[in-house]
Amino acid sequence: MQAGPLHGPDSYIGRGGESESALLMFRPMYEIDPSRIDLAQEFKRKPYGRHSAELQRVLNRMRSEPFEGHYVLLRDGRFGPYRLVQLGRRPQDPMISTGHIFADKKEAEWAVFKLRWKRLTGQDLPLE
């Protein structure tokens, strides 16, 4: 039995001999364009379910923030309100309450979206 080639015809090898998967590890994170207010409007209209490809990229970037300071929602009991908290540096660190409490999940998700948008773009969303 003859051994096949080390790299197939569709494989990518960088100038320094890096494979495509190695290069992807060092690709810069997706940058959110703060002028794309249409994506925020799309999320506000429909926070759940399928999104456009571009909005999904924004959400993936928002959800891949470093652990420390990441905004998350906690629900107090099965029917309780949603509390907005920030994660600590490590999973075992205590969560820090922001003091924001929401009765409605959609309203809570929108608040988290706006906070993450500001954190990643440096700009407030001009939407309520």
Residue 23 has pLDDT above 70, yes or no: no
- Which domain covers residue 57, as residue numbers? 31-121
SS3 content of the chain, % helix, strand, coil (to 5): 35, 15, 50
Average confidence (pLDDT) over 94-122: 95
Domain assignment present for 60: yes
Question: What pTM value is reported for the model?
Answer: 0.75
Domain assignment present for 77: yes
Strands (E), the chain: 71-75, 82-86, 96-102
Domain assignment present for 97: yes
User: Residue 76's pLDDT is what?
Assistant: 85
Overall number of domains in the chain: 1
**In this structure, what token pair is assigned to residue 124?**
């407030």
Domain assignment present for 117: yes
User: Residue 66's pLDDT is what?
Assistant: 82
What confidence tens digit (pLDDT) does each residue in 40-95 have?
999 999 999 999 999 999 999 999 888 899 999 999 888 999 999 999 998 899 99
Alpha-carbon gap, residue 56 to 43, rounded angstroms: 10
Domain assignment present for 36: yes
